[in-house]
Amino acid sequence: MLKRLVNKILILTSILLFYNCKSTYKTESFNRNEVPNEPQYSKVSSWAITPNSYQENFRKYAPKNIDSLKVDVFYIYPTVNTSKRDVRWNVPIEDEKQNDKVINKAVLFQASAFAGVGKIYAPLYRQAHYRSFFKKFKKEGDQALKLAYLDVKRAFQYYLENYNNNRPIIIVGHSQGATHAIQLLKDFFDETQLKEKLVAAYIPGMRVKPDEFKNIQPMNAPDEVGGFVSWNTYKKGFYPKPKDWYKGSVTTNPVTWNEEKETEYLQHKGFLYTNEKLYKNSIKTQVTDGLIWISTPKFPLRFFASFVRNFHSGDINLFWQDVKENVQLRAETWLRKNK
């Protein structure tokens, strides 16, 4: 028991240090001739998860009969390579250390919220390093992000041609995954017939403008379909820098899914912590310009979480049950409207 408590404290402490300390990242020039090998999406090994490869700890979040699900979920995971010493711009999909973080952190605590509604497809891709988002590394970072998106695009094309079978689709992406999801929506859905198959897009953790798309609109009701939702989570009273990163961006309230600006503890359905326990009625929210402000979550390690100001890494699992129930509602609504 004590060991588990210490481990949890260390996790929270590392999150605190990661988001509140200035960091120096080692780097090198981006060399297009030295990028990792291109994934082959015809191979199971190029996917973090497919309906036929759910790992044991993930399977419990899905129904026993996965084939009974009538919707697909295409999930794009966030940046997991944040090492200051890793000079690589893009991660090879054969990197077991990074893949473990993808599968047992990102997939487990984010994609699981959608597993009760749809079949999950999550490609491994040559994700760009965290520093790719820094202004000082913009030239190389843009190239790394472009390479990462090319993988996501090819994976989605393979999914459409080999797995989809004309089924409705939910797009999910967080952080770097949201960046790629935005471009994916533009390339495949925004001005094409495939938009009619879009149940919803959940793209938190990145700035999304209200007019980001031509035909895909922000959704302002919990049962609305065919549009997108997005939010960025921070402690109440905290403003990240720079302001142009968040001001004016779409901010969905991930508790009510409507235009309510504030919610109380009792409205919060629950967040999924790293111990895989669900903590209900633990967060209050307030929508401000481009941000969703939250209270310090109520759970056994609340004291340590009180020092965290940036809850970016928890954009989905802080509202895990809220997302789970909302995606169920949207899927049911879409299926009812498209009988």
3-class SS string, 122-182: EECCCCECHHHHCHHHHHHHHHHHHHHHHHHHHHHHHHHHHHHCCCCEEEEECCHHHHHHH
| Distance, CA of 36 to chain centre | 23
Calculate the alpha carbon distances from 193 to 136, 189, 215, 236 in Å. Answer: 40, 7, 11, 41
With beta carbons less than 8 A apart as the criterion, state whether 311 and 235 touch. Answer: yes
Tokens 């009273």 found at: 237
Positive/negative CA dihedral, 317, 322, 326, 329: positive
Single pTM value for the model:
0.92
pLDDT of residue 12: 47
- CA distance readout (Å), 103 to 48, 77, 122, 126: 6, 9, 10, 15
pLDDT at 14: 44
Dihedral angle sign, alpha carbons of residues 130, 93, 190, 223:
negative
CA distance 153 to 148: 9
| CA-based nearest residue to 127, from 183, 82, 73 | 82
Q: Tell me the C-alpha distance between 314 and 234, whole Å.
A: 10
Average pLDDT per consecutive 10 residues, the chain (339 residues; last block may be shorter): 46 42 60 84 98 96 96 98 91 96 97 98 97 89 96 99 98 98 99 98 97 98 99 94 86 97 98 94 96 92 75 96 99 97
* pLDDT at residue 9 in the model: 42
Sheet holding 228-229, edge to edge: 47-49, 118-123, 71-76, 169-173, 198-202, 228-229
Note whether 256 and 263 are within 8 A (CB).
Answer: yes
Q: Are 325 and 118 in contact (CB under 8 A)?
A: no
Distances (CA, A) of 213 to 96, 155, 206: 36, 22, 15
Question: Can you say whether the dihedral through the CA atoms of 252, 254, 257, 262 is positive or negative?
Answer: negative
The alpha carbon dihedral of 216, 170, 329, 114 has a sign of: negative
Distance CA 26, CA 257 (A): 41
